[in-house]
Amino acid sequence: MLILIYAGAAAATATCWADVTSVAGFAGWAGWVGRLTGLLAGYACAILLGLVARVPALDHGVGTDRLARWHATAGRYTIVLSVTHMLFATAAYVARSGTGVLEGTAGLLLNGPAMLEAAVGLLLLIGVAIISVREARRRMRYETWHYLHFITYGAVFLAFAHQLTGPDFAGSAVMSLLWQALYVSVVALLIWYRFLTPLRRALRHRLRVAEIRRESPAVVSVYLTGDHLDELGAEPGQFFRWRFLAPGMWWTANPYSLSAPANGRFLRITVKGVGDHSRALARLRPGTRVWAEGPYGALTAARRRRPQVLLVGGGVGISPLRALFETLPGQVTLVYMARRDEELILRGELDAIALMRGATVHYTVDELSGSSGGRSVPLTGRALRTLIPGLAVHDVYLCGPTGMTTAARQALRRAGVPNRRIYLESFDF
């Protein structure tokens, strides 16, 4: 995927590179750098949007969290390239016109082709980048950040007209047509997969809440029914973005994994109440309508390469692993980690699955109690090798809180498991 993106960048700037030998003088070089960075910035804008179009082939093959990281990286490249383009293009204009810096900059901004729109678009992109900084994002609700992020669409739209005024497009109908085709394709994917497909599926499947079942004081399972559920194509380990059409909840769609294999009768998610949205799930009434976008995610059986598989879950991160524990072929071992005994949810189901398929479950809790039935296992390479014989030849699926998965990944690497066989999908996107 990354190779294709880089190849596209090379193709998009090929004519610019072909002219480099004829560049001379400060104005010429400044103009050439401005031209190159402008082309790359425009291409990065298309990639920026394409990565979040939620195309199933990309999402299932690459993984939602990795696509989100690539999107964030593309956003940073877009801003750096756009600012560089602005600076060098302005420098070239000032040098050629012989005006002062302030006078030349103002003249270019006010009189340049679609320049004012492009400047506004760049300012909007910078604003989105500021609210996406980790510290800033932590200070606002996820829903607020999510909707503010849609400003990106407006920013790219404002800059598009300016892109077509560049020398590579103004002088070549073929280049202009190809560039427009790139953007039309990306917009079509966005409209189809982010807007029309969820609407079509909502009308087709008519999902609704069937039952709320409390698994622990802080965790509930939501059972959902609907029409033609077998057509959803959801695999164990995947998630949906759920929009519950209830007061105070309809305006946001949050990602929750399926905690049981999908079937034609019901879907199930198991959620810990850690925020306003997740806590509100416990108060949902049967019959509440639901829109579900998905399925998404690449934490599925398709990643498995070895006959021996280890699942490592922490807290409510057991949800997708519980579905995989039931369905993954081969020799499967589950390690379920929690701070306290009461945080070991779905334990009866896990024991029943282990008994049915002859698999092994290890429960490990930090705060042991008389009723725990588990033990405390430190997240170290030595401890994991002792607990799981032949650990180095296993495929490993990880899901849980960020701190736990980071520590587990480091321990697994020290235990001899190659990074390419550690599969992890995070909802931090």
Instruction: State whether 20 and 137 are in the same domain.
Output: yes
**Which structural domain, as residue segments, surrounds residue 399?**
301-424
Instruction: State whether 194 and 254 are in the same domain.
Output: no
DSSP labels, 98-134: T--HHHHHHHHHHHSTTHHHHHHHHHHHHHHHHHHSH
Residue 257 lies in a domain: yes
Q: Is residue 299 within 8 Å of 278, Cβ to Cβ?
A: no
Instruction: State whether 158 and 225 are in the same domain.
Output: no
Q: Which tops the pLDDT comparison, 145 or 41? A: 41
What local confidence, expressed as pLDDT, does residue 269 receive?
97
At which of 182, 200, 218 does a domain end? 200
By percentage, how much of the chain surpasses pLDDT 90? Answer: 55
Residue 429 lies in a domain: no
Instruction: State whether 129 and 157 are in the same domain.
Output: yes
| Residue 369 pLDDT class (50, 70, 90 cuts) | low
CATH number at residue 337: 3.40.50.80
Instruction: State whether 270 and 321 are in the same domain.
Output: no
Total structural domains in the chain? 3
Strand pairing report for 219-225 and 331-340:
unpaired
The predicted-structure confidence for 100-140, as pLDDT tens digits, reads as follows: 888 888 888 888 788 888 889 999 999 988 888 878 777 77
| Residue 3 pLDDT class (50, 70, 90 cuts) | confident
Instruction: State whether 214 and 288 are in the same domain.
Output: yes
Instruction: State whether 79 and 11 are in the same domain.
Output: yes
Instruction: State whether 340 and 227 are in the same domain.
Output: no
Q: Look at residues 383, 429, 419, 379 and name the one whose alpha carbon lies nearest to residue 403.
A: 379
| Residue 282 pLDDT class (50, 70, 90 cuts) | very high
| 265-293 average pLDDT score | 92
Mean pLDDT for all residues in the chain: 89
Instruction: State whether 339 and 378 are in the same domain.
Output: yes
At which of 296, 318, 339 does a domain end? 296
By percentage, how much of the chain surpasses pLDDT 70? Answer: 97
CATH number at residue 271: 2.40.30.10
At which of 249, 274, 296 does a domain end? 296
Instruction: State whether 183 and 74 are in the same domain.
Output: yes
Q: 34-52 burial, b for 16+ CB within 10 Å, e for fewer?
A: bbbbbbbbbbbbbbbbbbb
Task: Look up residue 320 and give its amino acid.
Answer: P
Instruction: State whether 192 and 214 are in the same domain.
Output: no
Instruction: State whether 142 and 242 are in the same domain.
Output: no
Residue 174 lies in a domain: yes
The predicted-structure confidence for 329-343, as pLDDT tens digits, reads as follows: 989 999 999 888 888
